[in-house]
Amino acid sequence: MPADSVLARKPNNFLERHLTNATLITGQIDHSEDEMRKEPKHIYVRQRAVIDDRPCSCYMQQVDHLNASTIHTYFPTKKNKQRESGGFTPRPPKPEVVLGVVSIVVQRQCHLLSLSCINCFFFFSPYHSEAKPVGLDERYKAVIHPVSISEIPGASIPLDLQHSSTLAHNSHLSIPLNMTFAESFLQGFSTVHNSIGYKKGYNFILWFIFAGALLGFTLARFSFLNFDVFESDSVPGQWYFTRMGRDKVGLLLHLAAVLPCGILVILQFIPIIRHKWILLHRINGYIIFILLLISHAGALMIMEHSFGGGVDIQSAVITLVIACTVSFCLALYNIRYKQLEQHRAWMLRTMFYMGCIITIRICLIISASILGALPNLRHDIWSCDQVRFTFLNGASDALTASEKLAKLFPQCTTPNSTNIMVPVPASLNLSNPASAGAAFNLSFGTGIWISFMLHALGVEIYLRLTPKEAERLRQISYERQLAAGFKNPGSAGLVVEKLGDADPWKGPV
């Protein structure tokens, strides 16, 4: 029978004056297990209290888990008692009588839905010596905050509980009735990360940090598709090679493919998209793979002259291309065989390897600063034509730039000096653009290898720290592979048991 049919609603001035959806109660939270297994729609809280010297009972009814809760209060009358005896009667719950502010959040499927912060005041049970969360179900969570009875104006303790030893022991506990800033922040944070499908807050924090950094970097680099912007913002000496020929085509190919790829990658790691729009997730994944291959082709075209094109730089670029491509292919292979935990691991490796382009910039600046501060300056080898182009291209005062060139590199001012190679000191000297370019050229290879090592190590640490998530996905893989008719369900993909000496996976427990 609906709760409304057994409740005679009367306004409760105390609740309206002092609290929102709350009252001093002694009672318990009850729910129907059969109902919760299907669709959690109703939560009832039976309450007894003495408010303004009048005993009353309250039902708190959560009509719909998507909407706010309501509290119905009625004072005991003969008619109401008759309705109560024939109406809703809570099932005998476990002895949970708690004093505290309870914020109930419903978790359904992959995300939590906030229930408008339902606040209830409970007394401690003799079974509890301290405030503990009340467990309702895996989809229901409760957080207990002690509160002092004396802080609730107009309310008193029912006579049958005044001599409770547990209550007397904990009567010193008190917090303000209003929700603190920390509680409000945590509730808002929980609502945000659960709305996009993240069950665990730390996963959302990691996604927010890395996805935010990738999004910001990608949006900032979109302006480089305009070569006029790239010319003015690129490292000194870089535009000399990329202004024409194969390098210009390779740069345009690389930027036009990798920048959209960087934005689409963020969508792949939003859980709600994977769960609700799986087709979009798949199509987006194949688009990313195609864009990744195109960007790799562009990177290989420009690596000969990128930041000097040294052997360390070319080997690092080739290593990154191989690592990203192989990881992505292994991820696609495993998802084809419904091996979800391996698909997750290889996709994380791919995206972490791709993301090292951001860390390269940080390592590049640090390395170039250290290199320029050394007592004995390192030198890079440039052609006179590149040095002359770096000084004169875009100079506001061509005469001053020519004089500076003649002073620093006199051998480059002689006729027929185009192919003469000269040493360029590496330092972040703003008055000498060639020296700044040399510092970045000599530091770029170091930056690539350090950042790649950090990202490769970081993703492996993360995968080792989340074995429960991998095991959960393997259980799902087992179910899907079994339903699809694979010979070895749970291990149909590329798992370690097929290659190493690990014990065979024993299947679901």
pLDDT digits (tens, 9 = 90+) for 139-179: 333 333 333 344 444 444 444 444 444 333 343 333 344 45
User: Average pLDDT in the 409-433 region?
Assistant: 86
Name the H helices within 44-110.
78-86
Beta bridge partners of 51: 54, 155
Closest C-alpha among 122, 147, 161 to residue 23: 122
Question: What region does 490 belong to: left with phi over 0, alpha with psi -120 to 50, or beta?
Answer: left
pLDDT band (50, 70, 90) for residue 204: confident
User: With 80 as the cut, is the pLDDT of residue 49 above it?
Assistant: no
DSSP structural state of residue 116: S
User: With 50 as the cut, is the pLDDT of residue 463 above it?
Assistant: yes
Q: What six digits make up the tokens of 2?
A: 């609906």
pLDDT band (50, 70, 90) for residue 232: confident
Residue 45, pLDDT score: 41
pLDDT band (50, 70, 90) for residue 499: confident
Give the type of residue at 470.
Answer: A
d(CA 469, CA 449): 30
d(CA 447, CA 439): 12
Q: Which residues contact 51 (CB under 8 A, 6 or more apart)?
A: 12, 14, 23, 24, 154, 155
Q: pLDDT above 70 covers what percent of the chain?
A: 65
User: Average pLDDT in the 483-499 region?
Assistant: 89
pLDDT band (50, 70, 90) for residue 268: very high
Residue 470 near residue 478 (C-beta atoms within 8 A): no
Residue 457, pLDDT score: 96
- 342-378 burial: b if 16+ Cβ within 10 Å, else e: bbbbbbbbbbbbbbbbbbbeebbeebbeebbeeeebb
* 107 against 492, higher pLDDT: 492
> What are the residue boundaries of the structural domains of the chain, listed by start?
3-184, 201-499
User: With 90 as the cut, is the pLDDT of residue 364 above it?
Assistant: yes
Residue 330, pLDDT score: 96
SS3 of residue 494 by DSSP: coil
d(CA 133, CA 123): 13
Residue 422 near residue 384 (C-beta atoms within 8 A): yes
Residue 419, pLDDT score: 86
Residue 509, pLDDT score: 63
Query: What is the enclosing helix (H) or strand (E) of 144?
Result: strand 140-145
d(CA 464, CA 135): 30
Closest C-alpha among 380, 377, 358, 372 to residue 450: 358
CB atoms within 10 A of CB 58: 23
Give the type of residue at 7.
Answer: L
- Can you give the pTM of this predicted structure? 0.63
d(CA 43, CA 421): 81
Closest C-alpha among 207, 358, 323, 329 to residue 274: 207
d(CA 241, CA 390): 11
* 41 against 479, higher pLDDT: 479
SS3 of residue 446 by DSSP: helix
Residue 48 near residue 37 (C-beta atoms within 8 A): no
User: With 50 as the cut, is the pLDDT of residue 282 above it?
Assistant: yes
* 90 against 200, higher pLDDT: 200
Among 54-58, 105-109, 190-194, 454-458, the minimum mean pLDDT is found in: 105-109
pLDDT tens-digit map of 332-353: 999 999 999 999 999 999 999 9
pLDDT band (50, 70, 90) for residue 308: confident
CB atoms within 10 A of CB 121: 23
